[in-house]
Chain A
């Protein structure tokens, strides 16, 4: 009898850790414009390759090329640039406010601004997003009042969520923005349920679910794909692959499979993989998926290949788990710089106008911040009433809560 081989456990490791020199030259980045644009009623089997490629529109020179280009007017693109710049400026101020102790926590979008801002432009009024904590661009792209977001971040007396939620866990039904949980992945299947409801009522609205690369490992990701596939729900299933789940690289969630997008194919769901730092490409695939949903053709999965240039939140230091230079070495560049270059090369934008706009946005953000702070910050000034703690647990307060509120003396 031959000797049995001893087994060993495989634990994937990222290519680079602190101290390594990041080098992404072995990563294949398809040329902009090189990936075909299928009809929206294509069968998933015919586009399997698109789950392994990357749809890109903007090339190195800032030109929009290929079949996914030319969907947005110059004015719309300038608006898009402003949305991304606003999100970045907003983040910068709120990161600082957190460092100053004005709130407990913050999560920024640095490097990922294109994903949520461009996506939102493919939706219509009445559609519903089920976001994660890194899609505030869905609100800002609708010119949502920044001061309201800041009131929430500060948990002040004007906080629409009455001080109950961790900063940035917004909820805004009117703007198609479902309440952010803070638990991971739960919203993905809820998005599918919302879309099923729209179909049950023969409505015309569609839903969009959001999840990060790390949370695709959650069981609810699988639940969402099964339900979306079974009922052909009018939903767009977005996976934002920003390479890092806190300190865990995407390979821990992805395992041996080729891409996150490819998981859609296991469920018969058409899947696209897109350059998440390319505003035009993000918009184009979102529009494609939205059209499929509206035509009752069912769900689409989209993987946005991007990079989380900042920390996961204000509570972690990325230098502890990845090389500092990795962000700069990332081959897909910066979404704002890329759109800016495109607009300049088109002759509809300039460095001067860019600086002017930056200053303008900074002023707007500062004014909003000032207004928000006049209503208080987490530890000073106006704060939500302690009574609010007992409200909204149920529609009507049951006797035991009324008694406890009395006991608390509020």
Chain B
């Protein structure tokens, strides 16, 4: 076990996989010599050479398209898109190509690629460095979508993603890179190095894709969250004193419905939390599933706490971010209903 930041854990996962399998290559904008704008690939070029870790031109469609070609050859590329906000030029390559290659060629060609990208706000990144675009990927058949909430999961999930034979969108909540941010932006964040959740197993291990984790057991209400919102939910549960059960989804597609259903049937109440915009957000899907499977166990309407349906603002960041106060309000509402 070592204490690691989420950045170090992500880097360690790539290091472990590059050491284990020569077919793993890492590239993206600024990831080579410099080691990435968030330092996630720092040292990998030096260790594995320019053949295995290199800088790419600023062309996200090119990065993903080249990765698909490499995968068709037999490599296992793990590429970085510098910010999730920059992924849209690659959308066609992801949706029409990577996601469907196995299907359209009946398994003749496959695309075992991992596309990493920092997601979410909380760093004063404005509308082009703060978005949470997970829902534009969860609608795509053939993709897997992963969002870790702590260093140990980040490493184990990334190892699983790289080993997976299908394309994986790996979203890294950038506000969690250095510590478990709970939404209290006016208070200091405990760095991962001083937090028990900063403990990361050494060497190779994996966390399976498609398995959620109950991070807090409770009897009264189920909070479904992922990424940064897991910690926001935790703060809200503590502050309200409500006996909430928190599910960290870890993987949105495939979705671990079993864990969700078991929890909601037990608590009879449900709050869904995400940072992304409300309308057609992934929360809408979660609500539908809970309604379809747990309707007769529900004691109150399901609540959603999300970012507003506006672009992510700069100066008004904390008015936008769905912090613990908003989650607490929703918890009280479902408890009173």
Residues of chain B from 96 to 133 with CB closer than 8 A to chain A in the complex:
96-97, 101-110
Question: Once the chains are docked, how many angstroms separate the CA of A207 from the CA of B141?
Answer: 29
Expressed in whole angstroms, the minimum distance between the Cβ of B284 and any Cβ of chain A is 16
Q: Chain A residues with Cβ under 8 A from B87's Cβ?
A: none
State whether the Cβ of A198 lies closer than 8 Å to any Cβ in chain B.
yes
Which residue from A188, A394, A400 sits with its C-beta under 8 Å from B166? A394
9-residue interface stretch from A4-12, A137-145, A175-183, A275-283: A175-183
Q: Are A128 and B73 in contact (CB under 8 A)?
A: yes
Contact A399 B105 (CB under 8 A): no
Instruction: Indicate which residue in B56, B57, B108, B142 contacts A394 across the interface (CB closer than 8 Å).
Output: B142
Q: B52, B56, B101, B255: which contacts A179 (Cβ < 8 A)? A: B101
Bound: A207/B210 CA distance, A: 36
- Other-chain contact of B105, A179, A194, A226 (Cβ < 8 Å): A179
Chain B contacts of A98 at CB under 8 A?
none
* Partner among A186, A196, A223, A399 whose Cβ is within 8 Å of the Cβ of B70: A196
Could you tell me the distance between the alpha carbons of A356 and B59 in the complex, rounded to whole angstroms?
54
Interface size on B, as a range, is 35 or more
B66 to A179, Cβ gap below 8 A?
no
Q: Are A190 and B66 in contact (CB under 8 A)?
A: yes
Q: In chain B between 43 and 94, which residues have their CB closer than 8 angstroms to a CB of chain A?
A: 51-52, 56-57, 59, 61-62, 65-70, 72-75, 89, 92-93
Number of residue pairs A-B, CB distance < 8 angstroms: 137
Report the separation of the CA atoms of residues A179 and B104 in the bound assembly, to the nearest whole angstrom.
Answer: 7
A161–B97 CB distance below 8 A: no
Residue pair A400, B65 in contact (C-beta under 8 Å):
no
Complex-state Cα separation, A161 to B105, whole angstroms = 6
B101 partner residues in chain A, CB cutoff 8 A:
179
Chain A residues, Cβ within 8 Å of B154: none
Which A residues lie within 8 Å of B165 (CB)? 395
Query: Is the CB–CB distance between B66 and A192 below 8 Å?
Result: yes
Taking a contact as CB atoms under 8 Å apart, the answer to whether A164 and B257 are in contact is no
A223 B73 Cβ-Cβ under 8 A: no
Give complex CA distance A30, B92 in Å: 40
Q: CA of A392 to CA of B56 in the docked complex: distance in angstroms?
A: 31
Contact (Cβ within 8 A) A393 B65:
no
Chain B residues closer than 8 Å to A227, beta-carbon distance: 56-57, 59, 62, 66
Does the CB pair A191–B106 fall under 8 Å?
no
Asked if B97 and A223 make an inter-chain contact with CB atoms under 8 angstroms apart, the answer reads: no
**A197 contacts B69, C-beta separation under 8 Å:** yes
CB-based contact A399/B106 at 8 Å:
no
- Residue from B57, B61, B73, B142 whose CB has the most chain A CB atoms within 10 Å: B73
Please, which residues of chain B bring their CB within 8 A of the CB of A219?
A: 61, 89
State the B residues within 8 Å of A (CB): 25, 51-52, 56-57, 59, 61-62, 65-70, 72-75, 89, 92-93, 96-97, 101-110, 141-142, 144, 165-166, 210, 254-255, 257
Those 3 A-B pairs whose CB atoms lie nearest each other, nearest first: A193-B69, A193-B66, A223-B62
